[in-house]
Amino acid sequence: MTEEQEIIRILLIEDDREHARIISKAFKRHGEGMVATVAGTLREARALLAETTPHLVIADLRLPDGDGMEILPTDKDSAQFPVVVVTAHGDEQAAVAALKAGALDYVVKSTLNLADLPRVASRAVREWRHIVEQKRAEEALRASEARYRAVVETQTELICRYPPDGTITFVNDAYCRYFDKPREALLGHKFMPLIPEEDHERVQAHFASLGPENPVATHEHRAIGADGRIRWQQWTNSVIFDEQGNAIELQGVGRDITKRKQAEEELQKAHDELERRVGNEPPSWRKSDAC
């Protein structure tokens, strides 16, 4: 064994001395850094587990002071190590029950199977590490999602997410307040009914213009507010694409710009009125003649 090679600690819970001898000998012969500690009872096993956490537990289902399944945690998600159970012929049903309770694998006792336990143990440790890594990734994803929600829920901007078909999958509180609708009345529904029909074509053209080379763009359109009045919104929409260039998900961050639009409209009216008045005034040379 090299200095870099990890030692795999195994707790073997087996009251049959001959079986324990065969298994221990198999691990020594295996020569891949596996060290087995033998406990003949559940009590001994619990005492050892209180001192250190092994990489793997191999437990006989029938022990002098109880059932080997008792070593399994009541909550599968709290398990600190994988468990492989060994059982006698005829107890396969109990072994299946152990798998349902959280055991990773089971082995039916025979001289050949017991001698093959190092290979089973190696596979179990690899599989367990994969499970642990997957759980960590899932926990990290949940934490990231929680942080994302915490951030977006405090935003005054309207935030929503949806796949390319426009079915809303996420909205923040500001979005719900703006349209005066509960979240459950928005999720799973299309967002286009919230937009006046005469703006649909322009909105669809905006989304069609987004692509892998330009996945983010700002767009203005009208919306039907909570009071039924038509209001103006400005949205910055971003799209996530897969490797083939197909849109997977879209996210929009919007805000109400009705007041700005009204101000622009008033300015335009004033400009038009000024041009009208200037156009109706006589040329300056005529004013001179009149004098």
Q: Does 1 have pLDDT greater than 50? A: no
Q: Look at the block and give the residue holding tokens 């049903």.
A: 93
Burial of residue 76, with CB atoms counted within 10 A of its CB: 0-12 exposed, 13-18 middle, 19 or more buried: exposed
Model confidence band, residue 190 (pLDDT cutoffs 50, 70, 90): very high
pLDDT at residue 291 in the model: 46
More confidently predicted of 272 and 213: 213
pLDDT at residue 101 in the model: 83
Q: Output phi, psi for 5, to 5 deg.
A: -70, 130
pLDDT tens-digit readout, 23-43:
888 888 876 678 889 999 999
Model confidence band, residue 258 (pLDDT cutoffs 50, 70, 90): very high
Domain segments of the chain: what residues? Answer: 8-143, 155-256
Judged by average pLDDT, the poorest of 63-77, 108-122, 129-143, 158-172 is 63-77
Q: Output phi, psi for 145, to 5 deg.
A: -65, -40
Rounded mean pLDDT of 268-289?
70
Query: What are the angstrom distances between the C-alpha of 83 and each of 45, 88, 106, 151?
Result: 13, 17, 9, 41
Q: Does 279 have pLDDT greater than 90? A: no
Note the CATH number of domain 155-256: 3.30.450.20
Which of the given ranges, 27-41, 56-70, 266-280, has the highest pLDDT on average? 56-70
pTM exceeding 0.75: no
CATH class given for the domain over 8-143:
alpha beta
pLDDT at residue 281 in the model: 63
The 10 Å Cβ neighbour count of residue 272 is 10
More confidently predicted of 170 and 279: 170
| Domains 8-143 and 155-256 alike in fold | no
